[in-house]
Amino acid sequence: MEFPEELKYTEEHEWVMVEGELAVIGISDFAQDALGDVVFVELPEVGAEVEAGKAFGVVESVKAVSDIYAPISGTVEEINEDLLDTPEIINTSPYEDGWLIKIRMRDASDVEDLMDAEAYQALIAEES
């Protein structure tokens, strides 16, 4: 299982990658593996506000429905439209092709509160 060093992570198993004023958000390799085959993704509209710690979308596997929580607050700038027809790319490429949304961050310093790859791996080692 991979946990890229350049990303930040949450206890709810989302990841964040900062690109200037934007933040790309997805779910971790651990999360996609735990979910199993992803068959449906529900994402917010472009322009919607997301709030740190609040659910902004849903990922469904064959068996289960899981909320996805916003790691940081901001405005949705772009959503990954490829996921509507090929949600399984979350399984095959959770950190690249399977990204979920890009948001314009309200306060870029919020990212500093998130876990680095090492802390996140320690967390999931505890959970599993």
Residues of the shown chain interacting with other proteins in the complex, contacts defined by CB under 8 A: 36-37, 39-40, 42, 58, 60-63, 65, 84
List beta partners, residue 66.
59
In the complex with other proteins, the residue whose CB is nearer, 19 or 63, is 63
Q: Give the span between the Cα atoms of 18 and 82, in whole angstroms.
A: 21
- 6 phi, psi to nearest 5 deg: -80, -5
Q: How many residues does the chain have?
A: 128
- Tell me how far, at minimum, the Cβ of 58 lies from other proteins, in Å: 7
- Tell me how far, at minimum, the Cβ of 79 lies from other proteins, in Å: 15
- Tell me how far, at minimum, the Cβ of 60 lies from other proteins, in Å: 5
Query: Hey, what are 89's tokens?
Result: 């790319």
Residues 6+ apart with CB under 8 A from 57: 41, 42, 43, 44, 67, 68, 100, 101
In the complex with other proteins, the residue whose CB is nearer, 36 or 53, is 36
- Tell me how far, at minimum, the Cβ of 36 lies from other proteins, in Å: 6
In the complex with other proteins, the residue whose CB is nearer, 28 or 61, is 61
In the complex with other proteins, the residue whose CB is nearer, 61 or 114, is 61
